[in-house]
Structure formats: structure tokens, C-alpha cells
């Protein structure tokens, strides 16, 4: 008999990345196409609307699956998963303060942590998500990200109470004894 698996800890923060409800757009497109055909006097001809429904649903299913893999976020007491990359919460030393939002015509200079690598295997912070600066062991700075970045920041601040002062990473770098 197999051993029972240890239960997964409940996530403190979770975002799935995308909703499967988008796939329902395929049947909606097929139904609209049938209604257009019928109102145009061509009668009930289901072949083309069915093909369109399958194509639209198939393409959207691929996009939703990719979004659920690459833009999902999960924070537990022991780990932070951003897409396909997972880091231990024990490796997070501090959080950087939230960046200022631009209010006028001129965009302010980004803070140093906003130029650092984003977690996950994407090239940057995904669209419609906001970065949260993290200070890691080994004098590394990375960006975590989420749609509800304030809730992620609040959950992270409960686990990691330290916050880097506004001076930025270059003025607050302290050698923690680890090497690259």
C-alpha cells in the first residue's frame, strides 16, 4: 500500500493566471455565426459555424493553458511560485517599498529594483501585473509580480518583516556572507 502524501500547505496568496471561461467564447462565436446565416436567408447550415467554434475554442484553450502555467502565482509559508520558477521564502531577506505611480506627463525614473530580473521564465513582468521588489540572499534583487500586487505585498510582508529603506539597493547592500 502506498504512503499517504503529506497535505499541501494552504496558499496565503494565489492567482491562477487566466480563467477557463474564455474558452466559452468559441460556442458564442459559433452561435452568432449561425444567427447571422439564418437572418441572411441561408437557413440552418451548421458546418462553418461548428468549424469556427472549434477553431476559436482551440486557440483560446491553448492561450489559457499557457497563461495558467506561466502567469500563475502561489505563495505559501515556505515558497513563492511565479509561473514555473519557485523560490524559498527563507531566501527572501527584505521587500522594497512600492514604486511611485506616474501622475503627470513626465514618467519618473524607475527605481533600481524595477530594472532587476522578473521571477518566472518570462522576459519581464507580464502585462497587467505589477512588480514587487524582493531582496534575496547572495545580494540578489528580483521582481515578484501579481495582478493584485498590494495583497501579494501584504502577504509577503507578514512572512518577511524587513523592508529596504528608500535609499535603494546600492546603498543598502550588506554582504551576508554568501557568494555567487
For residue range 138-150, list pLDDT tens digits in order: 989 999 999 999 9
In this structure, are 26 and 58 located in the same domain?
Answer: yes
pLDDT at 166 over 60: no
Query: What residue numbers bound the domain in which 45 lies?
Result: 13-71
| Nearest Cα to Cα of residue 72 among 57, 62, 80 | 80
Residues 123, 142, single domain; the answer is: yes
Question: For residue 84, is pLDDT > 50?
Answer: yes
Residue 164 lies in a domain: no
Maximum Cα–Cα distance across the chain: 78
User: Within this chain, do residues 42 and 81 fall inside the same structural domain, yes or no?
Assistant: no
Contact 113, 125 (CB under 8 A): no
pTM tops 0.85, yes or no? no
Distant-in-sequence, close-in-space partners of 140: CB < 8 Å, separation ≥ 6:
none
Model pLDDT, residue 180: 39
Q: What pLDDT is stored for residue 176 in this prediction? A: 46
Indicate whether 3 belongs to any domain. Answer: no
Residue 33 and residue 94 in one domain: no
Residue 168 within a domain = no
pLDDT of 23-73, one tens digit each? 999 999 999 999 999 898 888 888 999 999 999 999 999 999 999 999 999
In this structure, are 40 and 26 located in the same domain?
Answer: yes
Residue 33 within any structural domain of the chain? yes
What band does 99 get if pLDDT is binned at 50, 70 and 90? confident
Q: Same domain for 38 and 89?
A: no
**28 and 57, same domain (yes or no):** yes
Q: Are residues 153 and 116 in the same domain?
A: yes
CA distance 146 to 2: 37
Q: Kindly state whether residues 125 and 95 are assigned to the same domain.
A: yes
Instruction: Show the DSSP H helices in the chain as ranges.
Output: 25-39, 47-70, 149-159, 169-172
Q: Are 156 and 74 in contact (CB under 8 A)?
A: no
Amino acid at each position: 500500500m502506498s504512503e499517504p502524501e503529506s497535505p499541501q500547505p494552504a496558499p496565503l496568496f494565489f492567482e491562477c493566471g487566466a480563467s477557463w471561461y474564455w474558452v466559452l467564447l468559441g460556442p458564442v462565436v459559433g452561435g452568432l455565426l449561425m444567427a447571422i446565416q439564418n437572418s441572411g436567408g441561408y437557413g440552418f447550415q451548421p458546418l462553418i459555424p461548428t468549424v469556427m467554434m472549434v477553431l476559436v475554442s482551440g486557440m483560446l484553450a491553448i492561450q489559457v493553458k499557457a497563461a495558467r502555467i506561466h502567469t500563475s502565482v502561489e505563495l505559501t509559508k515556505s515558497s513563492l511560485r511565479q509561473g514555473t520558477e519557485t523560490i524559498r521564502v527563507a531566501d527572501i531577506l527584505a521587500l522594497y517599498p512600492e514604486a511611485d505611480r506616474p501622475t503627470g506627463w513626465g514618467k519618473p525614473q524607475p527605481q533600481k529594483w524595477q530594472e532587476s530580473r522578473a521571477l518566472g521564465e518570462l522576459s519581464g513582468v507580464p502585462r497587467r501585473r505589477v512588480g514587487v521588489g524582493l531582496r534575496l540572499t547572495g545580494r540578489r534583487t528580483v521582481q515578484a509580480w501579481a495582478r493584485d500586487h498590494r495583497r501579494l505585498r501584504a502577504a509577503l510582508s507578514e512572512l518577511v518583516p524587513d523592508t529596504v529603506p528608500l535609499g535603494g539597493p546600492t546603498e543598502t547592500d550588506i554582504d551576508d556572507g554568501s557568494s555567487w
